[in-house]
Amino acid sequence: MTGRRLVRAIVAQTGVELRLTLRRGESLLITLIVPVLLLVFFSSLGVLQAPGSTGPPVQYLLPGMIALAVISTGMVSVGIATAYERYYGVLKLLGGSPLPRAGLIAAKVLAVLALEAVQIVVLLAVAAAGYHWRPEGNLGAAVVIIVLGTATFTGLGLAMAGGLRAEMTLAGANGLYLVFLLLGDVVLPLSHLPAPLRVVARVLPATPFTDALRSSLTGAPISLDGASLIELAAWAVALVGLAALTFRWE
pLDDT at 223 over 50: no
What's the pLDDT tens digit per position in 150-192? 999 999 999 998 888 999 999 999 999 999 999 998 888 888 8
What span, in angstroms and rounded, lies between the C-alpha atoms of 233 and 230? 5
Q: What pLDDT is recorded for position 109?
A: 82
Annotate 195-250 with three-state secondary structure. HHHHHHHHCCCHHHHHHHHHHHHCCCCCCCCCHHHHHHHHHHHHHHHHHHHHCCCC
Averaged confidence pLDDT in the chain: 85
Average pLDDT of span 142-147: 91
Average pLDDT of span 80-99: 81
What does the DSSP 8-state code read for residue 32? I
Q: What pLDDT is recorded for position 85?
A: 86
Average pLDDT of span 71-79: 90
SS3 186: coil
The DSSP code sequence of 52-85 is T--S-HHHHHHHHHHHHHHHIIIIIIHHHHHHHH
Give the confidence band of 225 by pLDDT, cuts at 50, 70, 90.
very low
Percent of the chain with pLDDT over 90: 32
What span, in angstroms and rounded, lies between the C-alpha atoms of 137 and 22? 33
Give the confidence band of 65 by pLDDT, cuts at 50, 70, 90.
very high
Average pLDDT of span 212-216: 88
pLDDT at 208 over 90: yes
